[in-house]
Amino acid sequence: MLPYNPSGLFPSGRPPRPTYREPHPIGGAGVAAGALGTFVWLVLFGLLGGSLVGYVWWTLLAGGLAWGAALVLVRFGDRGAAAGVAIVTAGGWSIAAAAVIARWVASGDWPLW
């Protein structure tokens, strides 16, 4: 049996292997745009809180809204932007959690209520 030749000049009897391509590939520009937009979004909401408690609750609200937008982007828009939104939101929530834990360790009192 002859080896497969993709030109088709000498067919080997085997069908060509299928090529699977992503219908909407994720690009770096979309991820960066989603990340930058979410960073600005979280900073603006975080600035609304006058104390640690306010900062944490505003950050949780802004992150929840951002993840809702990411879900819409995954379904109907740019999945790269949705990935950037999700990554930065997780980072923002981690910073808020670290601030709560640091205050809790320093004071010995749970700061959120």
Is the CA virtual torsion 50, 51, 52, 57 positive or negative?
negative
The whole-number average pLDDT for the span 1-12 is 58
First and final CA of the chain: distance in angstroms? 76
**CA–CA gap between residue 92 and residue 82 (Å, rounded):** 15
pTM greater than 0.75 (yes/no): yes
For the chain, give every domain's residue range: 28-107
pLDDT at 3 over 60: no
Q: Each residue of 32-76: pLDDT tens digit?
A: 999 999 999 999 999 999 999 999 999 999 999 999 999 999 999
The pLDDT of residue 4 is above 60: no
Q: What is the DSSP string of 49-79?
A: -SSHHHHHHHHHHHHHHHHHHHHHHHHHS-H
Residue 28's pLDDT band (cuts 50, 70, 90): very high
